[in-house]
């Protein structure tokens, strides 16, 4: 994974020195932990997260029993793998929460440019591919072209889009009609989109919402109003893995602002340090459900903390 390639190299180097050791002294373990700490900080993982992560590794590494099956270096790698899985998932690896009575309502939230609109298309495509009948709803009325962009994305994915203009939607598959007129009010658009899904039996509604360049209260209130109006089954907070140390601040603001239910890491294909993304689950206690790894419709995967930890340590 490009965003973690430097971290992967650094961690692998940190373990290298342990390989020749028959038995690990406290100094060996401390030396390795220092390297792990530096690698994580350089990758932009938040300081608090690094501190507790390395403290747990140290405690466990010092307390490990002599194992017949694993040499000391392998034992440390195993501990780091387990702790990294925990950081990435807080022990949670859960699927998307589908409603017992469709439609399942998924709302997307995040900063402008985080990758929400792109994700709406990917999620729609993936859902369609797995037998669902999704509808995308264009409730981002802030950014010029956001509605058109979602329509283009929907068309590419073959997923219908409910858009506010004149109540007309682009037709990614079968044609659908709007339940009455819509206005420029994103709450009404979201509500009408859900009503349309009920009427036309779309089983998942994905609502794209507005994002600003920075966290602001007007944006949060709008997102909360949409949330309160449609009561989503999932509120997915989309975060650009390249955002750096701002990730923690942004994630906390959205957590307090809309109390999201899950995280989507986007742009994990980027070259910059993606470590900040590692802090998000830990800081908010919310699970990462998906990862976005490119601009294409299929550059998308269900997130599993244990598999991601293994890939980072690979």
Is 268 flagged in the annotation as binding?
yes
* Angle subtended at Cα 83 by Cα 11 and Cα 250, rounded to the nearest 5 degrees: 85
Residue 114 in the binding site for ligand GDP (CB under 6 A):
yes
Residue 209 in the binding site for ligand GDP (CB under 6 A):
no
Q: Which of 54, 117, 182, 209 binds ligand GDP (CB under 6 A)?
A: 117
Among the candidate windows 23-31, 190-198, 251-259, 289-297, which touches ligand GDP by CB under 6 A? 289-297
Residue 266 in the binding site for ligand GDP (CB under 6 A):
yes
Q: Which of 37, 116, 132, 286 binds ligand GDP (CB under 6 A)?
A: 116
Residue 115 in the binding site for ligand GDP (CB under 6 A):
yes
Residue 156 in the binding site for ligand GDP (CB under 6 A):
no
Residue 272 in the binding site for ligand GDP (CB under 6 A):
no
Q: Order of strands, edge to edge, in the sheet holding 288-292?
A: 161-162, 134-139, 204-209, 104-109, 234-240, 262-266, 288-292, 300-302
CB of 72 or CB of 115, closer to ligand GDP: 115
Is 273 flagged in the annotation as binding?
no
Distance CA(104)–CA(205), nearest Å, equals: 6
Query: What is the three-state SS of 74-87?
Result: HHHHHHHHHHHHHH
Is 151 flagged in the annotation as binding?
no
Among the candidate windows 4-12, 169-177, 215-223, 292-300, which touches ligand GDP by CB under 6 A? 292-300
Q: Which of 294, 301, 304, 306 binds ligand GDP (CB under 6 A)?
A: 294
Taking CB atoms within 8 Å and a gap of at least 24, the contacts of 220-228 are: 220/253, 220/254, 220/257, 220/258, 222/186, 222/187, 223/107, 223/109, 223/257, 223/258, 224/257, 224/258, 225/187, 226/107, 226/139, 226/186, 226/187, 226/190, 227/107, 227/258
Binders of ligand GDP among residues 73 to 112 (CB under 6 A) are 110, 112
Q: Which of 118, 233, 279, 284 binds ligand GDP (CB under 6 A)?
A: 118
* Token code pair at residue 158: 């073959």
Minimum distance, C-beta of residue 194 to ligand GDP, in the bound complex (Å) = 20
φ/ψ of 9, rounded to 5, equals: -60, -45
Minimum distance, C-beta of residue 302 to ligand GDP, in the bound complex (Å) = 14
146 Cβ neighbours under 8 A, 6+ residues apart? 117, 138, 140, 208, 210
* Token code pair at residue 234: 């999932």
Residues that bind ligand GDP (CB under 6 A): 110, 112-118, 211, 266-267, 269-270, 292-295, 299
Q: Which residues are annotated as a binding site for GTP?
A: 110-117, 208-212, 266-269
Which residues are part of a known binding site?
110-117, 208-212, 266-269
């Amino acid at each position: 994974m490009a965003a973690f390639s430097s971290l992967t190299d650094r961690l692998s180097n940190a373990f290298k020195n342990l390989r020749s050791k028959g038995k690990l002294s406290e100094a060996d373990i401390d030396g390795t932990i220092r390297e792990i700490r530096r690698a994580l900080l350089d990758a932009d993982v938040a300081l608090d997260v690094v501190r507790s992560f390395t403290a747990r590794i140290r405690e466990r590494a010092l307390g490990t029993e002599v194992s017949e099956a694993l040499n000391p270096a392998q034992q440390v790698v195993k501990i780091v793998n387990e702790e990294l899985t925990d950081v990435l998932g807080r022990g949670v690896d859960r699927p998307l929460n589908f409603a017992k009575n469709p439609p399942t309502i998924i709302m997307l939230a995040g900063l402008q440019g985080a990758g929400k609109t792109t994700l709406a298309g990917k999620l729609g495509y993936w859902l369609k591919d797995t037998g669902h009948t999704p509808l995308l709803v264009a409730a981002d009325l802030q950014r010029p072209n956001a509605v058109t962009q979602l329509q283009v994305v929907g068309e590419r994915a073959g997923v219908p889009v409910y858009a506010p203009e004149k109540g007309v939607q682009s037709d990614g598959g079968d044609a659908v009609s709007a339940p009455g007129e819509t206005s420029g009010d994103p709450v009404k658009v979201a509500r009408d989109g859900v009503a349309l899904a009920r009427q036309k039996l779309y089983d998942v509604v994905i609502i794209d919402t507005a994002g600003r360049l920075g966290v602001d209260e007007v944006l949060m209130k709008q997102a909360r109003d949409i949330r309160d109006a449609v009561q989503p089954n999932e509120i997915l907070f989309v975060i650009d893995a390249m955002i750096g140390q701002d990730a923690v601040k942004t994630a906390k603001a959205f957590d307090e602002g809309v109390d999201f239910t899950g995280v989507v890491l986007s742009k994990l294909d980027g070259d910059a340090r993606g470590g900040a993304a590692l802090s998000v689950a830990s800081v908010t206690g919310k699970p990462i459900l998906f990862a976005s790894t490119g601009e294409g419709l299929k550059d998308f995967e269900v997130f599993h903390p244990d598999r991601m930890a293994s890939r980072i340590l690979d």
